[in-house]
Amino acid sequence: MRFPSERVVWEIIIPILLSFISGAFGVFLGHYLRQRENFKKHVRLLNEETTKTQKNISGGLAEVLLFMLDQIHEEYVVKKKPIPRLTKIRAKKLYERYHALGGNGLGTQEYKEIMGLPQVKEDMADDITGD
Task: List the chain domain ranges.
Answer: 6-129
Q: What is the longest distance spanned by two Cα atoms in the chain?
A: 120
Tell which residue, 125, 35, 36, 124, has the closest CA to residue 89: 125
pLDDT at residue 125 is higher than 50: no
Q: Among residues 96, 49, 40, which one has the least CA distance to residue 68? A: 96
User: Is the Cα dihedral 73, 129, 97, 68 positive or negative?
Assistant: negative
Q: Which among 50, 55, 51, 69 has a CA at the least distance from the CA of 102? A: 55
- Give the tens place of pLDDT for each residue, 58-105: 999 999 999 999 999 999 999 999 999 999 999 999 999 999 998 877
Query: Helix, strand or coil for residue 131?
Result: coil
Contact between residue 120 and residue 83 where contact means Cβ atoms under 8 Å apart: yes
More confident residue, 59 or 7: 59
Above pLDDT 70, what percent of the chain? 89
Q: What average pLDDT does range 14-22 have in this prediction?
A: 92
What pLDDT sits at residue 50? Answer: 94
pTM: 0.64
Average pLDDT of the chain to the nearest whole number: 88
For residue 17, pLDDT over 70 is answered with yes
DSSP-derived 3-state class of residue 5: coil
